[in-house]
Homo-oligomer: A and B are copies of this chain.
């Protein structure tokens, strides 16, 4: 489908803004029967919904709860079932590591082993991040034949290992036995083509062990979530857009970078993100702007905090509209209902405003109201083609 879209793209000068509220969707609080969106006072979003086409988007499939990776790939127009991103890759993206196509990434833990090499603490007593930084320096000096070894600290006992080179595979078993009293497991190839990568990883672990003998409690490593970075079609190439990402959190910058968007430097607050949007308005055609507070409150199970986060977001809508976008989309990467205190599988409200979006009866930006919108319930990756069409950037199919 991306190839079809690519073949229909025509140049244009229209401006597109995608405002993504992380964990946007919610569920009714039993006491009131109203969801976070239904509880919040959202005058600007309601007014926008009244002028927009509304609906619900589903990022993966019915009943499937999206992680942040699949949630964003869906928003960016990639079918998350066709482009799967593993946990090692996500950990690397979370620290904005510059992953390249073909790289194999793993989540690493420093751990403690006894004199017989048996694990006594899988997290090395959660060493301070400064110690982690020093020890990853030691690991960086490890050399393996034919590949580059990249090691980056994350936080406390966690680090990222990346192997870069030709012909690597991420289909590897984990070294973490998820239990104490036994030594780390050797990595096994889960497909024949992974045999060489498995040898390299086992050599790395052996070298790491030698370099860490005097570093107790962090005297060994565990590796999990091996994955190869999928070769994703580049967003700017597929859609013919100069695309910019504005996000205060590294994970979302990493995901945008993964599809080839320009990641613009911004501050830590949403006000700073909106200022960044304004400053770069002329330089790009497409802006992905990420809002984190809704997800944070939802994950913490704080219904009222999520309501407040929605109301704060609502206050920024006029500033975005003042820029005069041709297409304005408001949606999210997944639901985070406060009563679940976790990501949810529920479809997420979406509104799409443009001069050509068509009328629909929805006048409130809520789960229930959007369910009756003219966009219906659609896979998230069907949104980008609709966005491009509304930006008059697609020619007809079959002349």
Contacts and interface: CB of A to CB of B under 8 A. Distances in A.
Interface of A: 1, 4-5, 8, 27-28, 30, 33-35, 56, 60-71, 80-81, 84-87, 90, 225, 337, 339-340, 342-346, 355-356, 358-361, 367-368, 371-372, 374, 376-378, 382-390, 394-399
A397 B359 contact: no
Contacts of A61: 1, 4, 382, 385
Contact of A62 (B28, B60, B386): B386
Nearest to A396: B65
B359 A33 contact: yes
B359 A398 contact: no
Contact of A372 (B8, B356, B372): B372
Contact of A27 (B346, B356, B396): B356
Secondary structure at the A interface, as helix, strand, loop or mixed, is: loop
Nearest to A38: B359
Contacts of A85: 398
A310 B388 CA distance: 29
- Complex copy number for this chain: 2
A374 B385 contact: no
A133 to B, nearest CB: 24
Given A65-B389, A374-B371, A389-B64, A70 B397 contact: yes
Contacts of A340: 356
Nearest to A62: B382
B87 A389 contact: no
Nearest to A372: B372
What 9 A-B pairs come out closest when comparing CB atoms?
A63-B385, A67-B398, A63-B389, A70-B398, A63-B386, A65-B396, A62-B382, A345-B389, A69-B398
Nearest to A369: B361
